[in-house]
């Protein structure tokens, strides 16, 4: 959705209803903010640079978001909700099969909607500020908790099917850290590997943790 906003030609956008045009403009600015965060980091991101990338005036960015802090918070909220809806939609049709749910979760983390180099780098920029950024927990805390709870439940179901007594929270944590680690590797390594290699790394982690219960 965001990726389509910047392709709207100005003469077409002028014909949009006022509310739709406003929403499209805000998404265009959020897209530019993600690119700015990816290339300049959190502290060096400026409204001027965002405006330049969005091809609108600095004043119009301020009109929509009031301040840099609000813009960065709303961009984080957009990315968090996009990620949340992406994984929830992926497992919606897999109820009752924990292995299929886990497979869907892993594939969802590397879906083009949420897994681009710009978005991963933007997430890394936010993570680098999370300790000193109360708004991160305000925006992402509940969603992160829901994801972890689902991953722990899936892990527990797979362990029960195998008759094993490992701690599901520990195995879920290993999986989550492996996934997050590949995301960070892709954005920070001098010779990053491909999304396909990253996805296969997480799948191999799941195979090692759950053995015959994860036949993917």
pLDDT at 20 over 80: no
Domains identified in the chain and CATH numbers: 1-66 (1.10.10.60), 67-216 (1.10.357.10)
Give 128-164 pLDDT, tens digit per residue: 887 777 888 889 999 999 999 999 999 999 999 999 9
Mean pLDDT confidence for 59-88: 95
Least confident of 15-19, 83-87, 207-211, 212-216: 15-19
Count Cα neighbours of 57 within 13 Å in the Cβ-side half-sphere. Answer: 3
pLDDT at 91 over 80: yes
pLDDT at 2 over 60: no
């Amino acid at each position: 959705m965001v990726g389509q906003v910047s392709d709207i030609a100005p003469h077409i956008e002028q014909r949009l209803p006022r509310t739709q045009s406003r929403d499209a403009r805000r998404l265009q600015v959020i897209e530019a903010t993600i690119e700015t965060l990816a290339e300049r980091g959190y502290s060096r991101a400026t409204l001027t640079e965002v405006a330049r990338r969005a091809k609108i005036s600095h004043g119009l960015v301020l009109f929509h978001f009031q301040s840099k802090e609000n813009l960065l918070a709303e961009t984080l909220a957009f990315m968090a909700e996009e990620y949340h809806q992406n994984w929830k939609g992926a497992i919606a049709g897999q109820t009752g099969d924990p292995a299929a749910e886990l497979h869907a979760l892993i594939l969802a983390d590397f879906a083009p909607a949420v897994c681009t180099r710009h978005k991963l780098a933007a997430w890394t920029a936010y993570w680098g500020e999370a300790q000193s950024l109360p708004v991160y927990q305000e925006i992402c805390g509940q969603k992160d908790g829901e994801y972890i709870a689902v991953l722990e439940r899936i892990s527990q179901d797979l362990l029960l099917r195998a008759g094993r007594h490992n701690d599901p929270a520990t195995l879920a944590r290993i999986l989550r850290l492996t996934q997050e680690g590949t995301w960070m590797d892709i954005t920070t390594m001098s010779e990053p590997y491909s999304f396909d290699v990253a996805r296969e790394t997480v799948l191999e982690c799941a195979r090692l943790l759950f053995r015959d219960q994860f036949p993917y």
